[in-house]
């Protein structure tokens, strides 16, 4: 892919068209990669200090920490790429804790032979996504593994966020009677990655929902809505997220299946591949547990954000036996929504 809109790569691609073992060797070639490509792209005073770590100031004494490694295959898909996914994924995890993302660390594991233009494209994707969520990459690390010992690139992003809520947000705060909101339609990301991997094309292209949930979640918190728990719907999809929270919070959940949105192209692809959209990964959707009385105000606020178009109340927390998620269909029938026993679509994040 050659995008004329991208800034030119600052490394001499004619001399080093691809990543070599020397790029991870601690010598001059690695130094050039770090100073000319990475430090130039992410230019900020923390990185410019070129120390073993970054020293940062935070007003809060309660912080949120999170870490994620990204191994998505392929690196690029409709609607996103590994670099964007890494930043939004980690920023979203901080938002799920009720925190404003502040600082990011970036660690790359590159496979020998990765084209430098691919690396540059992902560095720019990381930079743009950092701008969207208002974080800086403050420290980083780069490793190179031999050809056949990695898969292009893996990215770890760890994040530090400043807690905005005075109360604890998480599974332990879930209460019987809570409403559960899902912030949009389901299954886009998993199917977009599957399509890129298998070279599939659908009548209407399926674009990943990969995006930042930071702004809408901060808006809910700033409006004073007492969110009890949030969980983004990544690996294992909505089903895993709900089951995990029900198990830890010892509550049950009854879903109203008519309130779950699935795009018709996603639904068709799921039928074709024998997938349940409730198990397919999303990268810009979350479930929110909150007092039922606040649900309609929350939906009004979420409606102001493009990424939350289609948010709705999908269910309510019950105290009838812990850890069970059920879904009631339009026909009034009810089924148990379980964790998958194994894996369905590997390496979607």
3 state DSSP class of 128: helix
Give the footprint of a copy of itself on residues 186-245 (CB under 8 A).
230-232, 234-237, 240, 244
Cα–chain-centroid distance for residue 156? Answer: 12
The answer to the question of residue 21 lying near a copy of itself (CB under 8 A) is yes
Cβ-based nearer residue to a copy of itself, 206 or 348: 348
Give the footprint of a copy of itself on residues 248-267 (CB under 8 A).
248
Interface with a copy of itself by CB under 8 A: which range of 149-157, 251-259, 293-301, 323-331?
149-157
* Phi and psi at residue 311, to the nearest 5°: -65, 140
> Residues 61, 166, 224, 293: which binds a copy of itself (CB under 8 A)?
61
Q: Is 254 exposed, middle or buried (0-12, 13-18, 19+ CB in 10 A)?
A: middle
| Closest separation in Å from C-beta 321 to a copy of itself | 19
Cα–chain-centroid distance for residue 234? Answer: 7
Cβ-based nearer residue to a copy of itself, 45 or 293: 45
Give strand pairing partners of 255: 315, 327
Cβ-based nearer residue to a copy of itself, 2 or 57: 57
Cβ-based nearer residue to a copy of itself, 14 or 28: 28
Per-residue contact track with a copy of itself, 103 to 132, x per CB under 8 A? x-xxxxx-----------------------
Residues in the chain: 349
| Closest separation in Å from C-beta 4 to a copy of itself | 32
Q: Is 34 exposed, middle or buried (0-12, 13-18, 19+ CB in 10 A)?
A: middle
CA distances from 70 to 51, 213, 220, 330 (A): 25, 18, 28, 37
> Residues 6, 44, 115, 143: which binds a copy of itself (CB under 8 A)?
143
Q: CA-to-CA distance for 215 and 258, rounded, in angstroms?
A: 27
CA distances from 198 to 74, 77, 91, 186, 344 (A): 10, 11, 29, 20, 15
Interface with a copy of itself by CB under 8 A: which range of 4-12, 135-143, 298-306, 317-325?
135-143
Angle between helices 214-222 and 295-302 (to 10 degrees): 140
Would you state the structure tokens that stand for residue 205, as one six-digit string? 């292209």
Q: CA-to-CA distance for 190 and 278, rounded, in angstroms?
A: 11
Q: How many residues bind a copy of itself (CB under 8 A)?
A: 91
Residue pair 233/183 in contact (Cβ under 8 Å)? The answer is no
The answer to the question of residue 54 lying near a copy of itself (CB under 8 A) is yes
Interface with a copy of itself by CB under 8 A: which range of 76-84, 155-163, 255-263, 315-323?
155-163
| Closest separation in Å from C-beta 262 to a copy of itself | 18
Give the footprint of a copy of itself on residues 274-333 (CB under 8 A).
279, 281
The answer to the question of residue 163 lying near a copy of itself (CB under 8 A) is yes
Cβ-based nearer residue to a copy of itself, 167 or 296: 167
């Amino acid at each position: 892919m050659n995008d004329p809109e991208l800034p030119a790569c600052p490394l001499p691609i004619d001399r080093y068209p691809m990543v070599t073992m020397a790029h991870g060797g601690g010598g001059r070639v690695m130094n050039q990669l770090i100073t000319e490509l990475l430090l130039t792209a992410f230019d900020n005073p923390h990185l410019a200090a070129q120390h073993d770590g970054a020293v940062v100031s935070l007003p809060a004494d309660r912080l949120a920490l999170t870490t994620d490694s990204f191994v998505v295959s392929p690196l690029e898909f409709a609607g996103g790429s590994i670099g964007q996914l890494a930043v939004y994924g980690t920023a979203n995890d901080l938002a799920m804790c009720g925190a404003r993302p502040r600082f990011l660390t970036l660690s790359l594991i590159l496979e020998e032979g990765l084209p430098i233009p691919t690396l540059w494209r992902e560095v720019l994707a990381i930079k743009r996504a950092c701008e969207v969520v208002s974080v800086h990459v403050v420290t980083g690390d780069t490793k190179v593994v031999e050809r056949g010992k990695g898969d292009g690139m893996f990215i770890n992003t760890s994040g530090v966020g400043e807690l905005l809520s005075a109360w604890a947000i998480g599974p332990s705060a879930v209460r019987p009677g809570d409403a559960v909101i899902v912030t949009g339609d389901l299954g886009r990301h998993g199917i977009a990655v599957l399509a890129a991997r298998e070279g599939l094309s659908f009548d209407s292209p399926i674009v990943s929902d990969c995006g930042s949930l930071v702004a809408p979640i901060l808006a809910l918190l700033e409006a004073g809505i007492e969110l009890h728990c949030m969980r983004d719907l990544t690996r294992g999809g909505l089903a895993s997220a709900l089951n995990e929270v029900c198990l830890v919070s010892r509550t049950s959940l009854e879903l109203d299946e008519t309130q779950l949105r699935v795009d018709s192209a996603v639904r068709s692809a799921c039928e074709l591949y024998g997938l349940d959209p409730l198990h397919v990964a999303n990268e810009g959707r979350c479930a929110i547990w909150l007092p039922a009385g606040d649900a309609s105000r929350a939906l009004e606020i979420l409606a102001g954000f493009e990424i939350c178009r289609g948010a709705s109340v999908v269910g309510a927390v019950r105290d009838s036996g812990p850890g069970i998620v059920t879904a009631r269909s339009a026909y009034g029938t009810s089924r148990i929504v379980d964790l998958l026993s194994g894996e369905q679509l590997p390496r979607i994040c």
